[in-house]
Amino acid sequence: MIYTLTTNPAIDLNVTTGTLSTDRVNRTRDAVYTPNGKGLNVSFALGHYGVDSQILGFFGGFSGDYIVREAARRCPVRPVTIDGITRVNVFVTTPEGEYKLPNAGAAVCREKQVEMLDLLREAGDLSCLVVSGSLPPGVDAGYYDELVDVVRARGAELVLDISHPHLAELVARRPLLIKPNDEEVAAIFGVDVGDEGGALAALSELHRRGAQNVLLTLGGEGAYFSDGAHVWHASAAKVKVLSTACAGDATLASFLSVWLEDRGAVERALIRAMATGANVAMSAGLGDFSLVDDLARQVEVTRLV
């Protein structure tokens, strides 16, 4: 069973407005409230493709209750309840572009951190843990190492989609897959992904440091996947972007929905990933995946190495 862990979940509020001004009231429209967090999105997208998973996370207050209730309609949830109020993130789409306004989140005390680790130790069907998103206040980077220790002790696999600088050390623990974007690779590993040569150099460096497999996403420039022996590039489907808030999570989940079952189906996994991510970027939240098949026809995959 795949488990997804969101240490800092949120309600995402997506709204649309005209040009923003400090001189008047800025009326919004088309408000969409979504139970969110990167791991939750991974579970929701996996479920769309018929892959079972369970959601783990820290949840508190009225917003935490809302997320757990709404998420449970789509996927089993095993919450750890905390004091404080789960954050609400705001995404404002304007004619000039999208403003992203995330909040820090509620603090998670050590007792609750241990409760989550114990939950993982007792999950008898754990085969893969996907850890996504930021750490909440009160949790330091060493918690990632504790998660790795538990997963390794259980004989399970680990997938990391995090932007924390500690990823530079975590790759030495040989996670099954990491999914950085070009900005994260530059900030965390000091490798510029400006062109194909830069991407190949970055992938080589990540493998040298310990990563087994890397899905490197580049937004509108597509993505690269490397298993250490071969490298593939997938083009991006061309769409009108409404919000990028959930696109990366859907890209990862849709890739995993194919690749975890068949490690040789890289091309098919990349096509699904690029088409799904593009379709989600057209929507507020995850959307309904209705255009994935059409968008898949735009995606071209090339093996470079």
Q: Which residues are catalytic?
A: 249
Cβ(149)–Cβ(101) below 8 Å: no
Largest alpha-carbon pair distance within the chain?
58
